[in-house]
Structure 1
Amino acid sequence: MTVAFNGFGQKAIPFLKALDFHQSREWFLENRDLFEGELRDPFGDLVETLSERFAAAGLGLRGDRKKSLFRINRDVRFARDKRPYNRHLSAILSPDGTKMEQGVFFVHIGLERCFAGVAWWQPGPALLLAMRNAIATRPGEFRALIEALKQNRLELDAEGCMKRAPRGFEHVTAADLAAAIRNRHFAVRHEVDPAGIHAPALVDELVDFALRAKPLLDWGRAIEAKVPVD
């Protein structure tokens, strides 16, 4: 049975600050109860509450406290930065409830910022090519998506955009379409006031964002449905 989200603990961000300062397994184990009570368990409540609300809204996104949360531990095997712990905790809700799907809802609670995103993030080559082709060959549909997002106070994130047109798309000269085709991701974000993470109202805020981002989900899903499965 889902436990309603009542907000992150008041010590959630201070815990992340202290963990970032110590970066010590011994310190983390000594303070594990604080991590679980103030941050991890409320995050699980948030994910499962959002899952229910997203289902009711027909958004096709779900998750649970076991599969959706990312670990606080960093993967340092191939990293120069060997600090063992992240400065944030995050989670994904997706069409099948795993972290392997595209067209997802992402929540990030961290020291630098708190935000949510709806994204097609690093889509595979076939899907990314299909999205670029859709922009080039059906510009009206893409521009309608951009206008719908604009009406909903959202815009595509340009993070990681290529400097030049990908091969095969040099012929696209319209500035807006050319810029979009250079994207490696298709995502929108919503900044969350860190002061607001401690109240149940965060759920309504995130549901509202997901509904405003639905045009991006719909656009990507229509394209994805026509991409052959390997």
Structure 2
Amino acid sequence: LAALMDDLASRFAKEEIPLTCSAKTSVFRINRDVRFSKNKEPYKTNLGAVATRSGLKKDPGLLYINIAPDNCFTGAGFYRLEGEELRAFREAIISRPGAFRAATAPLIQRGHHFIDRDKLKRPPRGFEGVENAETIELLKLKHIALSKPFDAELLEGPALIDELVEVARAALPLLEFGWRVVDPFREVAGEVPAGRR
């Protein structure tokens, strides 16, 4: 996976996709943090890595790859947004529904689906007045991200890098939509250089 991420960074640079990754900063450790977990198994059963604008895992807006027995998938979008960022994202979905649908359309056309992990049962506080059923379901999401499984056979050859590049290209409209929403928060916190948007 480490070599894959280095190769992927080269392809992103060549294709002028504003994401990067590296073996050192983008791959999640295989060791589990068992301190506060009931499951004391020392190792994860999956490998995961991200590509972001900075190549760091904490950067918002990402491409994710998960490799596990019977659970290989790609994901893209905004995972675990902070409270104010998530609220601003929800407001952007309401105020620019057409732009949001257009931003997610390329991933949906490729067979990606919204990640509904941690989804709320009711609309979030402050959004109870929304009447459009599709919009209500989007507002319940805690992660504005989509994922799609892929066949493990892709791991055996160079086709995986091509697939990841195509997923990244399809994700760009959503990432750019989201960066416009979250970057002002990150600039105030000093996490995003001003003008990177």
**Superposed pair shares fold, TM > 0.5:** yes
Does the residue aligned with 1:165 lie in a helix, a strand or coil?
A: coil
Does the residue aligned with 2:35 lie in a helix, a strand or coil?
A: coil
Contact 1:115/1:189 (<8 A) preserved: yes
Which segment drifts farther, 174-183 or 205-214?
205-214
> Matches of 1:201 and 1:75 in 2, distance apart?
33
Structural mapping, 1:10-89, within 5 Å:
43-89=1-47
| Structure 1 consecutive aligned stretches of length 4 or more whose deviation exceeds 4 Å | none
> Matches of 1:129 and 1:64 in 2, distance apart?
31
Deviations along 1:29-78, whole A, 9 cap, x unmatched? xxxxxxxxxxxxxx111101111112223322111111111111111000
Task: Report the counterpart of residue 25 of structure 1 in structure 2.
Answer: none
Identity of aligned residues (%): 36
Task: Report the counterpart of residue 220 of structure 1 in structure 2.
Answer: 178
Residue 128 of structure 1 is aligned with which of 79, 86, 111? 86
Residue 133 of structure 2 is aligned with which of 175, 186, 203? 175
Task: Report the counterpart of residue 188 of structure 2 in structure 1.
Answer: 229
The normalised TM-score by structure 1 is 0.76
Does the residue aligned with 1:85 lie in a helix, a strand or coil?
A: coil
Q: Which runs of 5+ in 2 are unaligned?
A: 190-197
Which protein has the larger Cα radius of gyration, Structure 1 or Structure 2?
1
The Cα shift of 1:120 comes to 0.5
Q: Which runs of 5+ in 1 are unaligned?
A: 1-42
Distance 1:110 1:153, change over 3 A: closer
Deviations along 1:137-158, whole A, 9 cap, x unmatched? 2222223334444344433222
Equivalences, count: 188
Counterpart check, 1:101 vs 2:68 = no
Does the residue aligned with 2:49 lie in a helix, a strand or coil?
A: strand
The Cα shift of 1:209 comes to 1.5
Contact 2:48/2:65 (<8 A) preserved: yes
Task: Report the counterpart of residue 192 of structure 2 in structure 1.
Answer: none
User: Over the residues paired in the alignment, what is the CA RMSD in angstroms?
Assistant: 1.7
> Matches of 2:122 and 2:62 in 1, distance apart?
27
The normalised TM-score by structure 2 is 0.88
**2:151 partner amino acid:** D
